Structure formats: structure tokens, C-alpha cells
A and B are shown apart, each in its own frame.
Chain A
Amino acid sequence: MQNNFIKNIIKRKNVYLLLSPWLIIFIVFTILPIISAVFLSFTSYNILQPPKFNGFENYLRLFLDDDVFIIALKNTAIFAVITGPIGYIMSFIIAWMINDMSPRARSILTLLFYSPSLAGNVYFIWMFIFSGDSYGLINSNLLKLGIIKEPIYWLTDPKYNFWVCIVVLIWMSMGAGFLALVAGFKQLNYALFEAAAIDGIRNRWQELWYVTLPQMVPQLLISAVLSISGAFAVGYQCASLTGFPSTDYSTHTLVLHIQDYGYNRFEMGYASAIAVVLFVIMIVVWNVINKAINSMGD
């Protein structure tokens, strides 16, 4: 088996040679970090001193003795379940609607919907909108209308800040996945639509389900992967809105938990263990999504 593998490489060395630049970069910057994270997750490592092996201690502590991890896991799951699908479905519907417009309107609207994620840190405007100051945009208007008597601390009160984050995340969710869908709609084969009409498609929903979607599986897949990984990687947006860490960890996510242990406490071993868990969760979720999308239109 192994001999065969090496023989194969020697036989097709030209192919591997052409592949090598990408392969080297992939191994150095993706495979190695993953392996080293798995390795570090079994050690105690404070960055400045060499790592010490400590078996499953990190994992035991993570699952049995870390309340904040459970909160972070719960928050990440809720973020992923709410913002992932909503963002994904919104991307799809908007891309579908845009597709029927004139090319000019289409490109302008595409830019418009994509701009929040294009412009990077523009979500900072939400800090002014949701400011806890009584002169903040929402607070001052609610006070003026007499709906509230005291300013609401939108960003620091655990009752509200989670929902503020969700609003902002949905607003930002039209990312690269959205662009993939817009492109996907453009490459549809219109002969199939005619054929379907002749075969007796009754309305646009049927058309969408039986004709459009099966043609767009690759775009749907890439868009789903992007939105799922995006939803699981939520963190820095919440931290910059609600503070790091947020009050009683109300918007704490797994990514922030990793950051907390990695940069604030310098417990790299433990942070790696969280990262490994997040990695496993994402692989599982991705497999489920993959199966669901592939069965579309069947």
C-alpha cells in the first residue's frame, strides 16, 4: 500500500511538482497548525515556557468544570441556529429576487447588500445606535416617546445585548456566500425551465424546487459552508459591541472563549482544547448540511 503510494508519486512526479506550491502552503499553514493544536490540547502551555504534557486534563476540565464553556457553547449554538439559517435564507431569497431585475439594478443592489461585510468595521455604527447613554439614538427616542423612563444599557445588560448581537450579525450576514448565490442564478440553464413548463410545472415554487435548486447545488453548498463557518466563528463582532468579556458572559462564544484563554490567561493548552472541540463540531455540522443539500430536489 505504502509502496504503491510512493510509486504513484514517482510515476506522476510532474503532476505533484505542479501541485507542490499549493501543497506546501496548505500543509504549512493549515495542516500543521491543526496538528499542533491537537498536540497542544494535551499539554499545559503558557507561551513563554515550554509545554508540559498533562493528558486529558484540559478536556476533563472543559467538559466537567468550566461553566463558561457551557455558556459559550450554548450561545454559539443559538447564534449559529438563528443567524446561520436566517442569513442563508435571506441571502438566497434576495439573490433570487435580484436575479429578476435589470442588470444595472442587479449590480447596484448586489453591492448594496454586500457592503456591510465589505466595509469591515462599519458595525461600529451600531454602537452609537445602541449606546447606553441617555442621548444614544434609540434611548433618546424611546425616552422622548415616553416608552422608557431610564436609559436601557443595550450593550451591557445581559437581557438585551444578546439580541442586539443577533440583529447586527444578521445585518452583516450577506457575505461572500451571497455573491456565490448571485453568480449561481446567472448560470442557470434556461432550456430546462422551458422543458419543465412543458412537463407541467404549475407555479414558481415548484420551478424553484425542482428546476432552479438542483442546478445550484455547488453554489448552495459553498454558501452554506461559508455561512455555517461564519456563524460558528462569531465572536469579535460581539466583543467589540458588548465588551470583552460581556456581562456575565451573555454574548460569550467559543471563539471568544479561545481568545480569553489564549490571550488573557495565556493558557494555550486549554485554548487549543477548546479549538479542537470547535473544529469537531464544525465538521459534524458541515457533514449534516452537505447531506441535506445533496438530497435537494430528489
Chain B
Amino acid sequence: MLKRICCFVFVFVILITSFSINTFAATEEKNLPICKINLDTTNINGSEKTELKICDNDDKISAVISEGGYTTWQFTVSESGYYSLALEYFTIKGNGMDYEVALTIDDDFPCDGAERVTFPRVWEMQTADNGRFETDNRGNELMPSQKEIETTVKRNFADYSGMDDSPFSVFLEEGVHNIKITSLREDIAVKSVEIFNNPPLESYAKTLAKWEALYGKPKGDNIKTFEAEIIKQASSSAILPGYDRTSPATSPNSAKYIKLNTIGGENWKNSGEYIIWDFSIPEDGYYIFTFKYRQDLIRGLSVTRKLTIDDSIPFCEFKSLKFPYTNDFKQITITDNEGKPAYVYLKAGKHTLKLEATLGEMSKTLKPVEEIILKLNNMYRRIIMVTGVNPDTYRDYYFSKEIPMLFDVFKECSDGLKLYADNLEKMYGKGNETSLFYELAAQLDSFCKDDRTISARLDRFKSNISALAELVFNLKNQPLELDYFTVHQKDATIEKTNSTFLQRLLFRIKYFIYSFTSDYSQLGNVYDGEVLNVWVSVSDMGTTGAAAGREQAQLIKRMIDDYFTPQKNISVNLSLANTSEALMQSVISGNGPDVAMYLPKVSVMNLGVRGALASVTEMSNYNEVKERFLPASLIGFTSRDEVFALPDTLTYNMMFYRTDIFSEEGLTPPKTWDEFNNVMSILSKKNMQTGIPESQQIFEMFLLQNGSNIYNEKNTEVTLNTPKALEAFRQWTDLYVQYSLPVSFDFFNRFRTGEMPIGIVSLTMYNQLCIGAPELNGLWEMAPIPGGSQTCTTTGSVVIKGSGKEKSAFEFLDWWSSTETQKRYGNQLEVLLGTSSRYNTANIEAFSMLAWTKEELSVLRSQQEYLSDFSITPASYYVSRNITNAFRRVVYYYENSSEVMNRYSEDMNKELARKNKEFNLN
């Protein structure tokens, strides 16, 4: 018996060790049979919801697979081995989202990531007649708009969302196989599928020798320069030109006007993202490439690009070209291994140049390191489940008993970290980056040696993990900004373009002087005479999920000039205003705008009750317009029978939770408060927390769910001292008193580490999590809040009374709030700035047309059904500050909640009566 157990344990240990060796061992040589199997529409042997038709003008038939449909092919492989796959597709128009397909071979997903492969659409930048960009009537170049074009694209099956953008490597036995492509999003027109292995690329030395034998030695002095901002095509519509005005060295350049003169940077950093340029050369010969670039975003690291000319990589060295860190624009000539310029033989005429961001060798290191981070985060969570976040340093927690696998995982992770640090050093040389790996590894080793030190060093452990996550995030980014590139021959001399100190000084002085003459708060075309003046309140946009900034306002202005002005013949000047306070002051002095956008509801009502705003009910088609919004979003703008604004954005709380931790703990997302309380106590037993911020919205939610209100029907008294409201107040304060939730915390960070796996926070957290926590992709979800009902936060557009331009102002509001405009704005914004700028429009129809997934949309929809709101009175500011005071009385000093609320209610009533008297509202 004992022998048997020993044997079993032995096998088990072997299994475990072999497994861990496997994960970290370098990949052994794979058999990659060189071949090319092309499956076009004539080979199809089965399909559903697929239509064969000619989409293109080259007479080739495409199989248009509708969303949810599939097509299958059969093919034969003559040799067992690993193969790559590529898809040739035609970008037919649809809803504007990227195509997503699932790849199955012999009824099984052949590798990780095959469940969902993304194939992008193609965007083309719209340029003006002179080949550059359109300008506004003041001479500034405008950000070009993007147009979707229909063209044929061939792209490998690969996981572009992750780090490893190399094509999937699928093992296929010799024989007949079945391949099936299912469309998951949008209708995709498939032209062909290819199963291939390309012959390995030859080295530069070999290729050059071959060329020299054919064409002789490099010579000639041709030179041609191409502006990088004028591109042919880019993989993503977010790759847009930018402008650099820090020095006179960028080309083109002007101290007075905005000239778009660079491309890339922050928006060209993910692996797989590429830019294609056209270039032409006058005669056959050997050419050298020189780029003027800047990489100042990631300190001390170089970024990698893959260079392709006319759809093929000339030699294997061009698969990963390094662009080192530089904080100013610098020229770099592509060289061979010995530092001599690398020649490429090209025929005279037109060519294309493609640079693609790639992680190259590094992806093989980063992916497992990311897994290590996940594992260590998991261990951290397990440790705090035992100790709490503030462990007792003098206590022995017996970790080896409490968390048996802890030391195995630590050992494994420590070995892994050391191995990958070595790998990185081979690529980058010794440096700051790898020291963090070693530090963490050393910490893990010492934890294994003496587990009693864990509790004292937990903080450091946690900060090391997040520093490592940050580092991996940075290493993954490959931002590169280009000014121009030069194609030249051996004897041509490239002019030095770096500016001297004096030139730079002169430029900055000129720039400073011009800054007095142009008004930067004005955007785009500026008109004289009869115009509608519109202000955008930037800071308020930022806090309400519309994201702050010039880009947004610029886009609004562009849409106005392109659609509204031609349609209604009303010119509009758009300016940026900082706050709603500035608006108040300008209205007083009579210099105010005619329309103001994105005002928070409190500001709207402040202006409204004092008679500064025109009621939107005066709009001729108001009854039709109001149907665009949820009735709840209008309540906050309504005073008696007047409505002072049309809503722009609408945000509300959602429940965010970590799916991985929930399934680990066997929890289901709570739907009722009973269930929620249950989850809270389970989590708190495991030393994890629940995040509910100290905000009035939470109280309002409890009020609504208890069937109470803040004010009575005529807004003459507060009803917070009624039994129902007192019950709501008790429920709210009990969260902090009974369940001792933290009052002050950073939800985003604690959600990331898993300390706080559930929270009720604003919908804008979605944007933050999408962009700021890529490692959590797929590990969290949002759900409607328990009980459903809650109030909402809105911003709105208002029309200022007494300008004499109310009629055109109403027409503007009508146009702006229409589904068409809001949908276009939301989509364009995301095209321009990425998912992080998801726009929470108040127009419900337009909201559902944004790029939400079906599941997300149905969750948000079901939450929207429950939205409601309370009206705002002139004394609202006073009510909300007293609610906060009452809350803190109870939570800080454990006073009796009903008593406290009764006391503060009296104060509120007094102020309400006074304000009602002031405005004759009784």
C-alpha cells in the first residue's frame, strides 16, 4: 500500500515538474513544411447563411458570410507539421465595426485565440486637392476625416489583441482536413483562405551578393523625401497625423499656423498596427532608407518595426528594425549588422513602403511574464485572504499550511522571472528594466526560505507586482512618431535637419508672439456677421464620460461645418470654455454665447430658475424631440412646466465585478440587496472588499428603491424625515457602519489587484478599465445594480435667452441631439481616439448603435429601463451638502441615523422655504 502511494506521489511529482519545465522551456524546432494551399470560393464544400457574389471589380467571386453563418472547405496536407493560415477578404461596408470570425479545423479550435479572430476594415485619410490637408479659413490645417474604403486585404490568422502577432501555428497531420470559418460580427466577404509556410527569409549579405551579381555595385546620387503624415493606408483609423511645434526642425513647419507634420506616436504602438506609404523613384538602382523619427514616450527603450516593400520583406533583418529612444526628432538610416547603410535594389517607378509595429522576439518573453503576474496577483489575493491588507507583523500565519501551493508557485515564478530577465538582457543589454525582475525573484526566494517575512513585506510585494505589470505594459507599447522619410542612393548627401539652439529660440519667440494674434479657444472656421456662438464646457465633458479635450470639440465643429451649416444655412462659431462658472459670468456681462453644451444639470438649473435660459418646450417639434431621450434624463432639467436643456450625456452606476474571483469563490453576481449583502459578507470573511463610493447617488438609489423622494410633490419641503426615507438612509449608512465598507478608496487600482472584486461605480469606469487594465481583459463584467432603480447624471445643451437667435439655436439643438448626429459623433470619436473615448450619449437610439457587444448592450439596456431622477430645486446644493454632513455624522461618530437625518432635515426645510420665497415658487 505504502509503496503504491509512494509510486503515485512520485508520478505526480514528475508530472508537475515536467509540466513546469514545459512552460518555460524554449520552444524546440518545429517541422514547418514549405507549401501554399489556396482555397478560394470554388473549393467550398458546405455553408450556411453564405452568399456567393462578385463584390469587387476584378470578377473574383467572394463568399459573403452573414453574421452567424459559416463556410467550410476541405483540403489535403501532404506532410505532417505546423502550418500558418491567412485570409483574403474584401472589405464590404457594414456597421463600421471590425470583422470577427471563428476558425475551426476538424470541428475544433486549433489553437488559443482561434475562437475570435479580428480582421480590420480599411480606412483612408481624406486629403485636399494639393495632396495635403484641408485648412480652416484661418489657415490652420484640419485633422483629416477618415473614409472607409472597399478593397481586398490579405491578413494572417493571428491574435492581434494580445502580444504575439505572429501567425497562428497549427499542427496538421498528413491527410484530409476540414476548415470552417464562422462570422461572429458583421458580414464578411471571403475571397480565399490560404494554408502556407513561407520559405525562411534570406539574410542581407546573401541577398546583396545575389543582387550584385545581377546588377553590379551600388552607385548613383538620387534622393527623394516623402512626408510621413501623407499616408496611403493605415491599419486603424486612429492612426492620425499630429503636429509638433516644439522646434523648427519638423517639416513642414510654421510658427503661425497649425501644420500637421508628423504621424504616429501614441496612436501607433500596438503590435500589428501598420502604415503604408506610396513612394516613387526615378531610376533603377540600389536605395537606402532614412527615417526622421522620435520615440520619447517610453524612456530608455527602443521600439521595433517590420519593414515591407511592395508586400514583401526584402531580407530577414528587416523583420525587426530598432528605433532607439530619443527625446527629439532624429534621423536614422537603416543599416546592416556592421552599421553600413543597407541597400535595397528597386526598379524605377511607384512602390509601397510599409512599417508595422511588432514585438518580434520579445513577445516570446512578455507573454509568459504576463502569466507570472497573474499568478502572483492570485497569490497576493490568497495571502490577504489569510492576513488582511494590514497584516500583523509579529504573528506567524503558517502560510505553508494555509496556502499549500504558495511556495511551489513562488519557486516557479522566481525561476521564470530569472530566465526571462536573461532573455531580455540578451535583447536590450543590462539595464533598469531587468533589475525589477531580479528584485522580485529575490523577494520570492526569500519568502520561500522564511515565510514569516511575508506579512511584513506584503506592501513591497504588491508594489513590485504592479511595477512589473507596468513595465510589461510599457514594453508592449511600441510607439513611434515619424516626420518624414528619405529614399536615397549611395552618393547622395542627406541634409542635416537638426536645428541649432539659436534657430529654436527664434522659432519659440515667433511662436510666442503669434500666440497673441490667434485665438486658440476658437475652433475651425471662424465666421463674421450673423453667426450662432456655441460654447463647449470642456471640464464638464471630462467628468461625465464624454472625455475632455480639444479633439472632441474639433470633431463637433467639423460635423457642424460639414452637415449643419450647409443644411440650415446657419454659420456657427465654436469656442472652448473652461467651466460653467465662466459661462455664468459671461451671461451676466452680456458676452455670453447663444448655445452652451455639456452643462451639468445643477448649472443648467442655476441659470434656468434665474431666467437666463429659454425653455426647450418652445421648440416647434419638442414633442418629437423629447422621444429621443429617456424620460428620466429630462427630469433634472425640468422646473414646473419648463425644460431648460436637452440632455447630451447620460451616465449612471453599474455593478462591476471580477469574473475570475467570483468563479473561484463560487459566487454569482448579486441581483438583489439580500444577495449583495451576502456577497459582501463572504468577501469580507476572505479579507476582500466591496467598493461603493461615498456619493449622494447611492443614497438616491436607496430612496428610489424604497419608494421615497427628496422633496414633496410641490417641492415645498424635503421628505427625508419620512419613515421610508429614513429606512433608505439607514440602509446607506449601514453599508459603512455594519458592513464596514471603506469610505475612501481608489476603485480602479483595488479592482485590478483583486482586493476589491466588486463595486458599484459610474459607467465611465468601463472606459478606464478597457484602456488602463489590458491584463484584465475578459476577467471582468458589468451588470445592473442590485434592485435596479437609480438616478442618473446628465449634462445638457442650453439656449441662452434674449440673444434674438433662439430660433436658429433651437434648430442647432434639434440637429445636435438627433440620432443621426449623435451616432456619427460617437462613432467618429471612437474612430479617432479609440475605445477609451466611448461616448455615453443621452440619445438612446444612438447609444445602442455604438460599438458595444451584444451582451454589454443588453446589460446596459436593462439598467436603463430602471433609471429615474429627482427634480432639482434652487436649494439642491444645500440639501446635498447636508446629506453629506448627516452621512458623516453617522459613519464617523456612529450616531443614530434617524435622529441625525431629522435634525438636518429641519435645516434643509428652512433653506428651501427661503429659496422658494426668493423665486416665488410657492
Contacts and interface: CB of A to CB of B under 8 A. Distances in A.
A49 B611 contact: yes
Interface of A: 44, 46-49, 131-136, 140, 143-144, 146, 150-151, 153, 156-159, 245, 247-248, 263-266
Contacts of A133: 742, 744-746
Contact of A132 (B581, B607, B743): B743
Contact of B606 (A140, A156, A248, A266): A266
Q: 6 shortest A-B CB distances, which residue pairs?
A: A132-B744, A48-B610, A133-B744, A143-B390, A247-B888, A248-B885
A47 B888 contact: no
Nearest to B456: A144
Contacts of A266: 606, 610
Nearest to B750: A135
B881 interface: yes
Contact of B390 (A46, A134, A264): A134
Nearest to B606: A266
Given A144-B390, A247-B885, A46 B918 contact: yes
Decide if the interface of chain A is mainly helix, strand, loop or mixed.
loop
B884 A247 contact: yes
B615 to A, nearest CB: 16
Nearest to B881: A245
B587 A153 contact: no
Contact of A46 (B581, B610, B740, B743): B610
Nearest to A131: B744
Contact of B389 (A134, A136, A156): A134
B588 interface: yes
A264 B610 contact: no
Nearest to B610: A48
A9 B54 CA distance: 96
A263 B602 CA distance: 13
Given A153-B892, A247-B888, A48 B612 contact: yes
B10 interface: no
B866 interface: no
Nearest to A145: B393
Most buried by A among B390, B611, B612, B878: B390
B877 interface: yes
14 contacts: A47-B610, A48-B587, A49-B610, A131-B744, A133-B746, A143-B390, A150-B740, A153-B743, A156-B888, A248-B889, A264-B877, A265-B878, A265-B915, A266-B606
Contacts of A151: 742, 744
Interface in B552-593: 581, 584, 587-588
Contacts, number: 61
Contacts of A146: 392
A248 B892 CA distance: 12
A247 B890 CA distance: 12
Q: Contact size class for B?
A: 20 to 34
Interface of B is mostly: helix
Contacts of A150: 740
Interface string B311-333: 00000000000000000000000
Interface string B853-891: 000000000000000000000000110010011001100
A170 B612 CA distance: 43
B682 to A, nearest CB: 21
B75 to A, nearest CB: 58
A49 to B, nearest CB: 7
Given A48-B587, A134-B745, 17 more contacts: A47-B584, A47-B610, A48-B611, A48-B612, A49-B611, A132-B744, A133-B742, A133-B746, A146-B392, A153-B888, A156-B888, A157-B888, A245-B881, A247-B884, A248-B889, A265-B915, A266-B610
Most buried by A among B889, B892, B918: B892
Contacts of B885: 247-248
A74 B745 CA distance: 32
A157 B892 contact: yes
A144 B392 CA distance: 8
A164 to B, nearest CB: 14
Given A48-B588, A153-B744, A157-B892, A263 B581 contact: yes
A157 B636 CA distance: 31
B877 A265 contact: yes
Contacts of A132: 743-744
A131 B745 CA distance: 9
A159 B918 CA distance: 35
A156 B587 CA distance: 34
A159 B884 CA distance: 16
A260 B835 CA distance: 39
A47 B609 CA distance: 12
Contacts of B588: 47-48
Contacts of A49: 610-611
Contacts of B889: 248
A181 B892 CA distance: 44
Contacts of A136: 744
A140 B743 CA distance: 15
A265 B607 CA distance: 11
Nearest to B393: A144
A257 to B, nearest CB: 13
A12 to B, nearest CB: 38
A113 to B, nearest CB: 32
Contacts of B393: 144
Nearest to B884: A247
A133 B745 CA distance: 5
Contacts of B884: 247
Contacts of A263: 581
B684 to A, nearest CB: 14
Contacts of B389: 134
Nearest to B904: A248
Contacts of A265: 877-878, 915
A60 to B, nearest CB: 14
